[in-house]
Structure 1
């Protein structure tokens, strides 16, 4: 039995982190067979909507997949029918849905789903089209059963449509690939949908952006530009009758006209067609190395309003170095800065992936050094996605584990500090199967965020996870210093926390959890420091309380104070140490030497030399 599940998680704002609420998953759909290819959007009321490809009615070549949709409130509770409601159950294959929040001409909210559709068939030949369906917030479909046709792809199959709201949600703009007779290759088009009735708004097939698209060039992305009514478009081409590369254009969604007189060539050589990203007016991509070197590097470009490149001609270098870089993701902040997170495959044979992030200033200059900031070196840490944060930082969520069956979350401050540890924090326990194609994060208007992802657990399934941001993290616990004999058991005690205490072996930003509870015990083989954080109502303290277990230092032989061999710790006593000169031992303070201790118990002999002294700090 296949399931779509939702999980409820909490993330703390400004550096705090929390675990699962109630510690588990809640099923969203228990329909048979696979659910996959999920998409997500806000519902405009603090909740969210997910759409997916669904195989519940069969897995054969005919009638093999439909499109379903479900709405959730801000706490992850389902608001529509159990197992979701159908957007389309027409014959043959429906796939690759996109879901968009929009509104009618009377300002009524609508959830629009746009998908690739193979219901049209002549003989044994299927013809790809683009269909859409809209729902009100109660889950009532607004158009004809199984949706309405909004584009004919004319025999092109590699469509991969993208869709975004435009003009404050009063229309939905989508991009698709259409064969343009007599050209045997595809052509990229953009078209707009009227949420009132599902009719198209641009003339004919829409606005043609580029022609001669190779059948494998299936990457075209749309992004709504803040502060303008325009839609930014970027696409990749592998060749055919055009020069391969990445290109861009802006569209006026009122009438479909091109804003720029000519398409902007962002990058025109050596491009891998599945590794580029568009966010507002920033494009990031992976690019083959020069001089026949193996691997790829990461570049980025800012697009000016007049259709020119804002940064260097070939783009700003995000990372140029060893390994194969891929899957760049972009987040922006209010300071005009751009975070770009990506994968670095540094060992081809062993699939050793690292996760890096770089920050660019408004002029394309690197701010995190030449190589960027290493976020995680976990094996198989792949396919990140990102969320902007109001403090100017970014959150990255990625797959990890040898089977790609775990999720890690990383929070980076604006100045580049890893606030959730060197390798981030794992979200829950390992998921059965492996995660497909990364994760889909979405910030919610009511606060917090949600992520969606596909997994092969029990077949193919779709999950979603709700995050809340902690408004008032608890204070860090207080931990008193303890004095203990060498080799004895030391127990540190944290006070001032009404929740759960986590103990770290180093500071809060870099440490790993070594214990949980108000006390932490260990064998004191040397003086050691541990750090305690407080987790209350799923929010963690921003800092930690540091506590030490200091070994009581005893002489093991006669000798000089400044010689480690004189003492049981094989160290030199410091200002916070309790020191004991044992019976029968004579310890000498060297000439012109200042010794330090918190307190001294003299059971043997302490001898001074010229200009020597012992300073006690108790």
Structure 2
């Protein structure tokens, strides 16, 4: 069962049930609906396998869509780990999820309007369905009712990073199955992204292609071109390891990046500090 704790009751045992269907509901995500309510998505096992469902509530806690949620995708295989992205006109949301309908883990997306109606192809449009595995997606709004998604990708027999931009009509703007954010030696982990305020995005990740872990960044334009060095901009070259970066826009087409840092850890991986950097456009 999935419950959303809210301000509708002062009794902690009387929260608002979002879905009480059989089996389990897991990994919820939530965004504002732009009308003082919220939209919630989750992974759902009511049908035996894993599917994706979605629900909307208003400010008073009233369920606005179908009881126990609307099914976004119920195809064979597993669908789950949804990510919700608000759209700029407050008319619903875009949802991105991991999907094994083709056997290997792929990424799909759907747009839902404020009434719970699917606006794109039934069961979602593919973000990436390369024969290799795609994992750990992150997504942001592109500022034009579309979405930019980044993920870890094994198409080159190592863990690289790829990204895709989809417009508000559900059309992929960048190359089929995405453009490479980084596709060099070693493995790249935990991508994070933020808007560059011009329809593109700034990405950050950590890399183990060097003897010590390093944090890198890349900017990709609205039309899918790398704007910084081909292998990414090195954010930190201090001794020790750095990892787990998060990135946010600085409001001027650049970004702030923060990460865990072991430069002051003589015992290795026992004491982590936090460091940050600002990168201009």
| Aligned partner of 2:246 among 277, 289, 295 | 277
Alignment match, 1:91: 76
Asked if structure 2 preserves the Cα contact closer than 8 Å seen for 1:150 and 1:199, the reply is no
Per the alignment, residue 205 of structure 1 pairs with 177
Counterpart of 1:152 in structure 2 is 129
Partner of 1:296: 271
Q: Give the deviation of 1:90 after TM superposition.
A: 0.9
CA distance in 2, matches of 1:116, 1:248: 24
Q: How far off its partner does 1:277 sit?
A: 2.3
| Closer, same or farther: CA 186–73 of 1 in aligned 2, 3 Å | same
Preserved CA contact (<8 Å) 1:69 1:84: yes
Please state whether the residue corresponding to 2:140 is helix, strand or coil.
strand
Take 2:80 and 2:207, find their aligned partners in 1: how far apart are those partners?
A: 23
| Matched-pair contact (CA < 8 Å) for 1:156–1:186 | no
If the length of structure 2 is used for normalisation, what is the TM-score?
A: 0.85
State the distance in 2 between where 1:279 and 1:101 align.
Answer: 17
2: CA distance between counterparts of 1:140 and 1:233? 32
Is this contact kept in 1: 2:192–2:245, CA < 8 A? Answer: no
Equivalent position to 2:208, from 238, 242, 258: 238
Instruction: State the SS of the aligned residue for 2:104.
Output: strand
Length-normalised TM-score, structure 1: 0.41
> Corresponding residue for 1:53?
43
Moved over 6 A (4+): none
Which residue number corresponds to residue 21 of structure 1?
Answer: 10
Pairing partner for 1:187 from 148, 151, 160? 160
Report Cα offsets for 1:160-202 as digits up to 9, x if no partner: 11111012x421100122334xx32132111111222x22111
The one of 20, 27, 39 equivalent to 1:30 is: 20
> Residues 229 and 298 from structure 1, CA distance in 2 versus in 1: closer, same or farther, beyond 3 angstroms?
farther
Aligned residues: 272
Contact 2:51 2:74 in 1 (8 A): yes
In the alignment, is the contact (CA less than 8 A) between 2:204 and 2:245 conserved in 1?
A: no
Question: Per-residue deviation at 1:83?
Answer: 0.7
1:147 offset after TM fit, Å?
A: 1.3
CA contact (8 A) 2:34 2:90 kept: no
In 1, Cα distance between equivalents of 2:29 and 2:186: 26
Matches within 5 A, 1:53-72: 53-58=43-48, 64-72=49-57
Question: Which of the two has higher C-alpha Rg?
Answer: 1
Per the TM alignment, residue 45 of structure 1 is displaced from its structure 2 partner at its CA by: 1.9
Q: Deviations over 1:103-148 (max 9, x none)?
A: 6xxx68241111111110xxxxx32211111111110112232212
Q: Is the 8 A contact 2:92 2:113 kept in 1?
A: yes
State whether residues 202 and 217 of structure 2, in contact with CA within 8 Å, keep that contact through their aligned partners in structure 1. yes
Distance 1:290 1:230, change over 3 A: same
Q: 2:235 aligns with which of 266, 272, 287?
A: 266
Matched residue, 2:219: 250
SS at match of 1:185: coil
Partner of 2:252 in structure 1? none
Measure, in 1, the Cα distance between the counterparts of 2:227 and 2:10: 48
Residue 266 of structure 2 aligns to a residue whose secondary structure is coil
Q: How big is the alpha-carbon RMSD for the aligned residues of Structure 1 and Structure 2?
A: 2.6
Whole-angstrom CA distance in 2 between matches of 1:76 and 1:296: 44
Extract unaligned runs of 5+ from structure 1: 11-19, 59-63, 121-125, 307-618
Alpha-carbon deviations, 1:421-478, whole Å to 9, x = none?
Answer: xxxxxxxxxxxxxxxxxxxxxxxxxxxxxxxxxxxxxxxxxxxxxxxxxxxxxxxxxx
Q: 2:241, 2:261 within 8 Å by CA — same for their partners in 1?
A: yes
| Match of residue 543 from structure 1 | none
CA distance in 1 between partners of 2:40 and 2:241 (Å): 32
Deviation at 1:218, TM superposition (A): 4.0
- Post-superposition Cα deviations, 1:350-397, rounded to whole Å, max 9, x if no partner, equal xxxxxxxxxxxxxxxxxxxxxxxxxxxxxxxxxxxxxxxxxxxxxxxx
CA gap 1:296/1:267 in 2 versus in 1, 3 angstroms: farther
- Partner residue in 2 for 1:8: 6
Say whether the 8 Å CA contact 2:247–2:256 is kept in structure 1. Answer: yes
* Secondary structure in structure 2 of the residue aligned to 1:8: coil
Looking at structure 1, the residues matched to 159 and 19 of structure 2 have their Cα atoms a distance apart, in angstroms, of 37
SS of structure 2 residue aligned to 1:32 = coil
